[in-house]
Amino acid sequence: MEQEPQKKAADTAVPKPPAKPDDGKDNPNAANEPEQVIRPEDEALVVERLRELGYIE
């Protein structure tokens, strides 16, 4: 069974911007967020684990 294109009309609206900018920059807890520290040994562990799963040759 072939998937044949079916004709439909295009919608020509311009993409709408986000309704309200809300990036959390005013979040008073931002300074308390944890710092992500990816050490070389962490990256090596990621590689080792993904290699075990066959993701990486």
Partner 1 sequence: MQSKPNIILISADSLRANHLGCYGYTLPTSPNIDKFAGEGALFEKVFAPGIPTQPSHTTIFTGQHPVTHGVVAHGGKAKLARGTPFLPEILLEEGYTTCAVDTLFRERIWFGRGWEYIIDPSLHHLFYASVTQEELNDRAIHWMKTVQKSPFFMFIHFWDVHYPYTPPDRMRGMFYKGGNPTDPDNHELDEWWDHPVGAMARDTWLRTPNGLITDPNYVTALYDREIRYLDEGIAALNDALEKLGIAENTMVVLLADHGESMTDHRVYYDHYGLHDCCVQVPTIIKWPAGIAKAGTRFAPFRQLFDIAPTLLEAAGSELPEDLDGKSFLPQLTGKEEASGYDQVVGCESTWQAKYYLRTDRYKFILARYPDLLGNPDRELFDLQADPGEDHNIAAEEPEVVAELEAKLEAFVADKMEAAGRTEDPVTKEGPVAVEIWEQHRG
Binding site for partner 1 (CB under 8 A): 1-25, 27-31, 33-38, 40, 42-47, 49-50, 52-57
**Shortest distance, CB of residue 40 to partner 1, whole angstroms?**
7
Q: Closest by alpha carbon to 57, among 43, 47, 42, 44?
A: 47
**Shortest distance, CB of residue 4 to partner 1, whole angstroms?**
8
Cβ pair 50, 56 in contact under 8 A? yes
**Shortest distance, CB of residue 51 to partner 1, whole angstroms?**
10
Q: How far is 21 from 17, CA to CA, in rounded Å?
A: 9
